[in-house]
Amino acid sequence: MQSPLKRFFWACSGATISILQKKECETEHSKYVGIGAAVFLTGVLAAVSASYAFSTVFSSGKWAIAFGIFWGAMIFNLDRYLVLSIRNTPPSTTSTWKEKILNVGGVLVIALPRIALAALLATAITKPLELLIFDDEIRAEMPGLQQDQAKEFQRELETELQGGGGQTTLAARIEKLREENRNLEKEINQKQEEQVKARQAAIDEAEGRANLPAGQGPVFEMKKQNALDNEKKANDYITRRTDLQKRNDTQIADLERQQQEAAQAARTKSQANDGLATQLQAFSRLTRKNPVIWSADLVFMAIIWILEIAPILTKVYSKYGPYDKALDFEERKVYAQKDREFEELENDIKTQREFYQRQKDVLTKIQDRVVLGTLSVTDNPILDSTAYKDLENAKNVLIEQATTGLTRTSENGNKDDRN
């Protein structure tokens, strides 16, 4: 009697326990225990991995565990089916290179799709486990990632504030307005310098620092009038640019307020964005920046891949053993038995049809003789015709009733014979 644990691992491997526990299959016990244990452990790792992944989605640990167990059971069944679907074939007696290559190609056609699916399942199992193992490092990386995300969110919000079609950020617009104010300030200063020069020319003329005597001549009057005209134009020029500066300052203040609001909203959004996808992104940044974590990630993923693919490779490349022979024998025996049952059923149907036809032929002959004998005793043609039709109808009814009754009797007899 085999131990319950061994029988459990046999069931996990997809083997037929009733065949595997036969004496001639004892040499196969360890192989199928190993395959079943690998499949079972893969399901357990999948359950743990999914429980952690779902814990980032659900606030309730019970729901996370429930969905993790469901995921683990699903992965377990998929792995078990992948192993179960691979059947070993008897060794080939051929020795030519062409036939050997064809045999290897056939094995690869069977194995590669299953190995690819197993690798995909291994990746789905590995990532949440890596997040659990490198949780401290990921938490340390999260602030930098959230800061970068906040900048991206801020750019998106600023684009929305500009109507969705803005090509520049708020900061760029603020800088543009400030640059415009600086240019206006330069123009104002330049105009004020021109005012000072015009005033100084009139003062020089009045104080005698010009070519003509002080306070005399038409040049003084001309310079004085020119200074007054330039003063008026300069005041108008400076006033317009001062108004533009004030309007720009108002726009700058409004844009800075929008910028601060967008930055605060982006920070809030980035801090709340700490789900599974963000953790995976942070872990990806870590593997790019830290060679040690990259190496550990590679080794850990290789271990899970090997654990996931090992049962399939074991089943594909193992020799055709006693269990495979016994399994083929049982299947052929079932096929042969079902073929015999089907053949017997076809023979019964054929026998019933032949019996029905013979009974119908016999009854038809008897009824024809009765009708002919009855018609021979009358000389009236009309009566003969009418009587013939009536007798013909009666004959058909009798044949139908008789054959139906005989067929039922035959079927009941056949059933009694089988019982």
Domain end residue (candidates: 215, 241, 274): 274
Is 262 part of a structural domain of the chain? yes
Is 99 part of a structural domain of the chain? yes
Q: Do 358 and 387 have their domain in common?
A: yes
Is 146 part of a structural domain of the chain? no
Is 37 part of a structural domain of the chain? yes
Q: Do 125 and 81 have their domain in common?
A: yes
Residue 109: CA atoms inside 13 Å, Cβ hemisphere, count? 6
Q: Do 13 and 124 have their domain in common?
A: yes
The domain containing residue 268 runs over which residues?
A: 158-274
Q: Do 109 and 209 have their domain in common?
A: no
One digit per residue, the tens of pLDDT, for the chain of length 419 reads 678 899 999 999 888 888 888 888 888 888 899 889 988 988 898 888 888 878 876 767 788 889 889 988 998 998 888 888 887 777 666 566 776 676 667 667 777 887 788 788 788 888 888 888 888 888 887 777 767 766 666 666 666 555 444 445 666 777 788 888 888 888 888 877 777 776 666 666 555 555 544 444 565 566 666 666 667 777 777 788 888 888 888 878 877 777 676 666 666 665 555 667 777 888 888 888 888 888 888 888 888 888 888 888 887 777 888 888 888 888 888 899 999 999 989 988 888 888 888 777 777 776 666 666 655 555 444 445 555 566 666 666 666 665 565 555 555 555 555 55
Is 223 part of a structural domain of the chain? yes
d(CA 415, CA 409): 10
CA-CA distances (angstroms) from residue 78 to 43, 116, 400? 9, 13, 59
Helical spans, DSSP H, in 134-168: 135-161
Q: Do 36 and 97 have their domain in common?
A: yes
Is 47 part of a structural domain of the chain? yes
pTM greater than 0.75:
no
pLDDT in tens, 32-46: 998 899 889 888 988
Q: Do 364 and 268 have their domain in common?
A: no
**Residue 387 CB-density burial (10 A; 0-12 exposed, 13-18 middle, 19+ buried):** middle
**Tally of domains in the chain:** 3
Is 17 part of a structural domain of the chain? yes
Q: Do 179 and 234 have their domain in common?
A: yes
Q: What are phi and psi of 94, to 5 degrees?
A: -80, 155
